[in-house]
Structure 1
Amino acid sequence: MNIDAHQHYWDPARGDYGWLTPDMKPLYRVFGPDDLAPLRKAAGVQKTVVVQAAPTVDETRYLLDLARSDDSIAGVVGWVPLDSTDAAAIIDELAREPKFKAVRPMLQDLPDDTWIEHAPRKDAIERLIDLDLAFDALIFARHVPSLVKFVERYPELRIVVDHGAKPPIRDGIDVGWQPWADGIAQLAKLPQKLHCKLSGLATEANPNWTDETLKPYVAHLLEHFGYARLMWGSDWPVLDMNGSYAAWHDTARNLTSHLEKAQQDAIFGANARAFYRLRNG
């Protein structure tokens, strides 16, 4: 079972995607399961995990509505105001939906890079743990020190780092490799066994990227997280700004082709299924 561990659906008319503006013409339209279906089928992807793209509970409910009516959606990563007094109650409400699997605060967009180490309420995070829900960390390298403190505070929380912590690939190896590379090594060594998504790399590269462009970054993620803690995701349709579903899927397959089949199967499906506790796929 091949699983896309990270993709989005949205409708700009809903009005809560602050980052999605009309000048982003390739993205400023409705994207739904019917749009993704031919792309994932061509790539042999049967199921997906759809991830929040707006910092609102209403958008999470919108995604859960889609998930109820589309079997290809195996799980939903939603948004909850983790610093709010009603966060735990909201988590309880959302968790009644069987496809609600994780939460994601949009850390990369917050003005305070240290938010994750002091703002989330203890009762909210403990509720995630009690309900066996996971946590997606959308970070850059600058967020690593604060994320480490958060991870150490909640050792029982399952955490996955989105998009390989978004290395600045377009800056080139000489300029952009550090501090990203050391940050990845630090996160991977934590005893909590963080997972990481092999996703979003094409978005961080210059146009006309190739397998060779992304090869050192994929290799670094493999070296530190290993095949057992990486999961492939498309980051579609954001991916359309700088690539295509087929191209990124082919590149990820090519750059992991030296692995044994079982190891590739883990990256392209089994790890996501286990991490997100997905049913029927």
Structure 2
Amino acid sequence: MRIDSHQHFWRYTPQDYRWISDDMAVLKQDLLPETLRDTLQRHDVQGSILVQACSSVQETRWLLELSEKTDFVRAVTGWVDLSSPALKQELEAISHPLLRAVRHQVQDESSPAQWLENPAINAGLRELQQQKTVYEILVTHRHLTDAVKFAERHDDYFLVLDHFGKPDLSLGAAHWKQQVAPLAGLKHVSCKLSGLLTEPRPAGMSARDLLPYFEAALEIFGAERLMFGSDWPVCLLADADENPWDLCEQATATLSSDEQAAIYGGNACAIYQLQPLPITGND
């Protein structure tokens, strides 16, 4: 089963999706399952993990309702206030068979470092891990050191680094590798091969120039802790002739079939405890 480990849906409203700026016009519209279905089929992807895009329990409930009616969504990464003293009850209130992970847009906090150090947040993470719920880390390269300290404190269940940790592409893959290696050294941390196409690039940098980041990720995480993610529809912000499916296929072309199977679905199935697709037809 080929899995896209990172995609979004939304009914666009400016107040809910404030991170969508004026130069992201293609994202300022409702983006729903039928818009993505043909693309997944074209790239032979049978399932996806649907990820929150605003800090709202209401959005999480809506994503879960949408997932029940969308055959290719295999799991949801939702949002909950990790600092809430009533977190256990709030998790119970949104409990759902497809809710397998939680994420917060730490990169948008006024002080991501303080957020990651917050005792209430860390207590919430301990509760989350006790319930065997994955937590996805969304930070930029500016706070990877803080993310390492955070991840070291929370090793009771899986943590997943989104979008390569959003590297500074102007500094090159070797610099990013050095930054992220301490995270890769923590065996409970995996990384999504997603988001690179829409990170700010130096003038003249092509999609092909991003391949060294994949090579570095393979060296430090190994194929057993990497997952392909398209970051659709955010990936639509890339140039028209660039897409994450082709980029990742270029990056993984020389890997063994077992390594490719792990990156394109096996690891996501294990980390997010995805159920196998139902068998159809006659054998």
Q: Give the alignment's TM-score, normalised by structure 2.
A: 0.90
Three-state SS of the structure 2 residue aligned to 1:75 is strand
Q: Which moved more, 1:119-128 or 1:40-49?
A: 119-128
Q: Against the structure 1 CA distance between its residues 83 and 245, is the aligned structure 2 distance closer, same or farther, given a 3 Å change threshold?
A: farther
Tell me, in whole angstroms, the C-alpha distance in 1 between the residues paired with 2:63 and 2:14: 12
3-state secondary structure, aligned to 1:156: coil
Segments of 4+ in structure 1 off by > 3 A? 119-123, 205-211, 243-246
8 Å CA contact retained: 1:4, 1:268: yes
The alignment's C-alpha RMSD in Å is 2.1
Quick one: which of 230, 233, 249 aligns to 1:234? 230
1:109 paired residue number: 108
In the alignment of these two chains, the number of paired residues is 275
* Overall identity of the aligned pairs, in %: 35
How far apart, in 2, do the equivalents of 1:59 and 1:245 lie? Answer: 32
Hey, what's the Cα distance between the residues in 2 that align with 1:219 and 1:8?
A: 26
Q: Cα 1:234–1:160, aligned 2, differ >3 Å: closer, same or farther?
A: same
Hey, what's the Cα distance between the residues in 2 that align with 1:209 and 1:75?
Answer: 34
Note if 1:162 corresponds to 2:159. no
Contact 1:159 1:195 in 2 (8 A): yes
Check the 8 A contact 1:164/1:199 in 2, yes or no: yes
**1:200 equivalent among 188, 195, 202:** 195
The residue number in structure 2 matching 1:27 is 27
Q: Distance in 2 between matches of 1:77 and 1:266?
A: 20
1:152 aligned residue: 152
The aligned counterpart of 2:269 is 273
TM-score, structure 1 length as denominator? 0.91
Could you say which residue in structure 1 is the equivalent of 2:74?
A: 74
CA distance in 1, matches of 2:224, 2:80: 28
Give the letter for the 1:279 counterpart. Q
Q: Any gaps of 5 or more consecutive residues in structure 1?
A: none
- Paired residue for 2:140? 140
**156, 174, 181: which one pairs with 2:177?**
181
AA aligned opposite 1:145: T
Q: CA deviation at 1:277?
A: 0.8
SS at match of 1:136: strand
Q: 1:172 to 1:126 in 2, by over 3 A?
A: closer
Aligned mates of 2:131, 2:241 — CA distance in 1:
33
1:13 match: secondary structure: coil
Q: Is the 8 A contact 1:49 1:76 kept in 2?
A: yes
* Cα distance change on mapping 1:129 and 1:47 into 2, 3 Å: same
Q: Work out the CA distance in 2 between the residues paired with 1:47 and 1:19.
A: 26
